[in-house]
């Protein structure tokens, strides 16, 4: 048979255009190269059919693959490169089965008029004219068929299309198999990475548990010098906490200002109270003020006091916290939240040891020990111009850094026991017990909300348990609640979570960091307060 029956046979299309035929075959070859380089099965299937329809001018093309005892249409495309809808009802399954069972290509100029095809009910129903169906072979096994047709044009395909499609089908089958193997390899690689990540996580947990046990053992064995003061109000025996106690021992009896730094929930105010209680001013007032909780319009009057008539609503003289703490200790929490103008006035008060109330003319002498605290990086705030450098050096006589809970995991069992005892007193019942596996999970958790979060979690566990706390399902909310910080954080934690889940976790984290202050939380999140309230209701978040 001639290689180019278009020219000689009765099905020919007139005088040949050799240049057009050459470029048509060349375009098919280029498409095949691109298909063979593709690594995604779905993309391979679509590109195969688009190339076939483009080369032959077919109205529609279907790629059929064997599945057990039957077959399925893997992809179906039309001349406009669109997916054919409901493809199972658009082909002659009899023709496809015949080609896949015999392994022989079938070419029909007019299926409606050619026996035995004209006897097929599907041919009659679909009113098929031109049909070309080529078997797909892989290692001498027929794995499917390439089926193209044209319902309105007779003799659309000839032996050039037949031979080209037979050669193309052999290569296309290889492309499909390569893409399938590549996807399987990629799945295997990801599964192996997941297994390795889990193994690394377990190794890290084991090493951390060993380190905790080692530090605990060394702490008990070491003959550390006794502390001068009582720090029993702060629960913990870790080395990290011991270093804080040793520093407090050296500064408690002085009047030097103290700057307490640490993440939200680590217990900065508790450190300040211990400093006051152990120091020479213990019998004098201890006044605590959270700077981030004071409205900006009332900041000066809260700090420095005000006289009657100084502003609308000032119906009496009011002593500020500096005067209230006279001869005692003043604790200013979240001092990093102060506005620049208030920072300047605070600096003047500290330099001159006297305060003038808002609207007043008299200055009052004050004698206080100042302890300031912040969960911000104050040095960075200074470097970026948001905090006065001179005020920073006035506040940081001594810096006490309270370690986050994840850096003193050996204290977690003690804190759990403390929280269980407190819950029992609060509820008027016997202290609950915690199963070892639950305690191990609590020790492993990163606790981004630190001690405050742990104590709240124990209260939740007690409330949800009827007796011994041992049901691991109670920890599900904790395990998926908040992503880890620092080196432990990464994209892996967010994988598989919806956008709504991510939004909820970020709101929970910021609310914990701001101790439930929704105005401050909205500010940090960069959204209006009304939007935050809406999100809290939508996600059913209980603010701390």
pLDDT tens figures, 261-290: 999 899 999 999 999 999 999 999 999 999
pLDDT the model gives residue 515: 75
pLDDT the model gives residue 149: 92
Residue 285 sits in the same domain as residue 342: yes
CATH number at residue 539: 1.10.10.60
pLDDT the model gives residue 7: 27
Structure tokens at 250: 């050296």
pLDDT the model gives residue 493: 47
Distance CA 87, CA 71 (A): 13
Structure tokens at 492: 């892996």
Q: Is residue 232 part of a domain?
A: no
Strands 70-78 and 60-67: antiparallel
Distances (CA, A) of 279 to 283, 328, 374: 9, 10, 22
CATH number at residue 349: 3.40.50.300
**Mind listing the pLDDT tens digit for each residue in 14-54?**
555 667 777 778 888 888 888 888 888 888 888 898 889 98
pLDDT the model gives residue 106: 92
> In this structure, what DSSP letter does residue 529 have?
H
Lowest mean pLDDT across 273-277, 349-353, 468-472? 468-472
Q: Which residues contact 270 (CB under 8 A, 6 or more apart)?
A: 233, 234
**Residue 395: pLDDT above 90?**
yes
CATH number at residue 57: 3.30.450.40
- The model carries a pTM of 0.53
Structure tokens at 460: 């939740």
Residue 178 sits in the same domain as residue 257: no
**Residue 215: pLDDT above 70?**
no
**Mind listing the pLDDT tens digit for each residue in 120-147?**
888 888 899 999 999 988 888 898 999 9
CB neighbour class for 375 (10 Å; exposed up to 12, middle 13-18, buried from 19): buried
Residue 24 sits in the same domain as residue 154: yes
Residue 125 sits in the same domain as residue 260: no
pLDDT the model gives residue 219: 53
**Mind listing the pLDDT tens digit for each residue in 168-207?**
888 888 888 888 888 888 888 888 888 777 777 777 776 7
Distance CA 475, CA 523 (A): 30
Nearest in space to 144 (alpha carbons), one of 232, 72, 214? 72
pLDDT the model gives residue 446: 86
Nearest in space to 276 (alpha carbons), one of 330, 211, 195? 330
**Mind listing the pLDDT tens digit for each residue in 430-460?**
999 999 989 988 988 888 889 999 999 999 8
Residue 409 sits in the same domain as residue 392: no
Residue numbers of the domain that contains 431: 404-471
361, 386, 403 - which closes a domain: 403
Residue 520 sits in the same domain as residue 420: no
Q: Are 446 and 412 in contact (CB under 8 A)?
A: no
Q: Is residue 368 part of a domain?
A: yes
Distance CA 55, CA 31 (A): 10
**Residue 544: pLDDT above 70?**
no
Q: Are 412 and 405 in contact (CB under 8 A)?
A: yes
Residue 413 sits in the same domain as residue 395: no
Q: Which residues contact 391 (CB under 8 A, 6 or more apart)?
A: 343, 344, 346, 347, 350
Across 514-540, average pLDDT:
80
Q: Is residue 298 part of a domain?
A: yes
- β-bridge partners, 372: 259, 332
139, 160, 184 - which closes a domain: 184
> E strand or H helix at 458, and its extent?
helix 450-464
Residue 392 sits in the same domain as residue 439: no
Residue 366 sits in the same domain as residue 424: no
**Mind listing the pLDDT tens digit for each residue in 483-508?**
544 434 444 445 445 566 677 777 88
User: Which residue has tokens 């195969």?
Assistant: 48
Residue 385 sits in the same domain as residue 414: no
CATH number at residue 428: 1.10.8.60
Residue 37 sits in the same domain as residue 174: yes
**Residue 13: pLDDT above 60?**
no
Res. 9 pLDDT band, cuts 50 70 90: very low
Residue 339 sits in the same domain as residue 464: no
CA-atom Rg of the chain in angstroms: 39
- Within 13 Å, how many C-alpha atoms sit on residue 527's CB side? 16
Res. 477 pLDDT band, cuts 50 70 90: low
**Residue 153: pLDDT above 60?**
yes
Distance CA 538, CA 145 (A): 52
Strands 258-261 and 369-374: parallel
Q: How many CB atoms lie within 10 A of CB 250?
A: 10
- β-bridge partners, 71: 66
**Residue 259: pLDDT above 70?**
yes
471, 494, 520 - which closes a domain: 471
pLDDT the model gives residue 138: 85
Q: Using the Cα atoms of residue 359, residue 360, residue 363 and residue 367 in order, give the sign of their dihedral.
A: negative
**Mind listing the pLDDT tens digit for each residue in 299-347?**
888 899 888 877 777 778 888 899 999 999 999 999 998 999 999 999 9
Domain count, the chain: 4
Res. 216 pLDDT band, cuts 50 70 90: low
Q: CA-based angle 243:247:253, to the nearest 5?
A: 150
pLDDT above 90: percentage of residues in the chain: 36
Q: Is residue 220 part of a domain?
A: no
């Amino acid at each position: 048979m001639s290689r180019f029956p278009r020219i000689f046979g009765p099905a020919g299309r007139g005088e040949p255009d050799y240049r057009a035929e050459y470029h048509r075959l060349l375009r098919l070859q280029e498409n095949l190269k691109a298909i063979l380089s593709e690594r995604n099965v779905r993309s391979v299937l679509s590109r195969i059919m688009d190339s076939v329809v483009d080369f032959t001018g077919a109205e529609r093309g279907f790629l059929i693959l064997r599945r057990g005892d039957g077959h399925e249409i893997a992809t179906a495309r039309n001349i406009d490169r669109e997916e054919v809808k409901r493809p199972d009802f658009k082909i002659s399954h009899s023709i496809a089965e015949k080609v896949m069972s015999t392994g022989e290509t079938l070419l029909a100029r007019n299926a409606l008029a050619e026996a035995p095809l004209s006897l097929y009910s599907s041919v009659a129903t679909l009113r098929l004219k031109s049909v070309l169906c080529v078997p797909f072979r892989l290692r001498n096994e027929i794995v499917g068929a390439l089926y193209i047709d044209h319902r309105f044009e007779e003799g659309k395909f000839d032996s050039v299309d037949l031979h080209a499609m037979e050669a193309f089908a052999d290569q296309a089958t290889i492309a499909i198999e390569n893409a399938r193997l590549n996807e399987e390899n990629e799945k295997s690689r990801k599964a192996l990475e997941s297994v390795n990540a889990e193994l690394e996580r377990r190794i890290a947990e084991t090493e951390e548990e060993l380190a905790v046990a080692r530090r605990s053992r060394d702490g008990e064995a070491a003959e550390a010098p006794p502390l001068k003061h009582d720090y029993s109000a702060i629960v913990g025996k870790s080395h990290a906490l011991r270093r804080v106690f040793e520093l407090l021992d050296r500064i408690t009896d002085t009047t030097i200002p103290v700057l307490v730094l640490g993440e939200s929930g680590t217990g900065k105010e508790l450190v300040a109270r211990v400093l006051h209680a152990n120091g020479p001013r213990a019998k004098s007032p201890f006044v605590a003020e959270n700077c981030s909780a004071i409205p900006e319009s009332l900041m000066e009057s809260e700090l420095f006091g005000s006289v009657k008539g100084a502003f609308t609503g000032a119906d009496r003289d009011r002593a500020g916290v500096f005067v209230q703490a006279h001869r005692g200790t003043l604790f200013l929490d979240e001092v990093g939240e102060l506005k620049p103008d208030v920072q300047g006035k605070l600096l003047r008060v500290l330099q001159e040891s006297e305060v003038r109330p808002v609207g007043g003319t008299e200055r009052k002498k004050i004698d206080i020990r100042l302890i300031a605290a912040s969960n911000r990086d104050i040095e960075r705030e200074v470097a970026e111009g948001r905090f006065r450098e001179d005020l920073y050096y006035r506040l940081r006589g001594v810096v006490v850094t309270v370690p986050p809970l994840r850096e003193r995991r050996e204290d977690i069992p003690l804190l759990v026991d403390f929280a269980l005892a407190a819950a029992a007193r609060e509820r008027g019942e016997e202290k609950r017990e915690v199963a070892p596996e639950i305690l191990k999970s609590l020790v492993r958790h990163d606790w981004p909300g630190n001690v405050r979060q742990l104590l709240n979690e124990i209260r939740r566990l007690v409330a949800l348990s009827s007796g011994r706390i041992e049901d691991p399902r109670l920890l599900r909310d904790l395990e998926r609640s908040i992503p880890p910080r620092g080196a432990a954080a990464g994209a892996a934690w967010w994988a598989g979570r919806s956008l709504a889940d991510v939004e909820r976790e970020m709101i929970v984290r910021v609310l914990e960091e701001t101790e439930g202050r929704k105005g401050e939380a909205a500010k940090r999140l960069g959204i209006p307060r009304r939007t935050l309230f809406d999100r809290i209701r939508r996600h059913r978040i209980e603010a701390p």
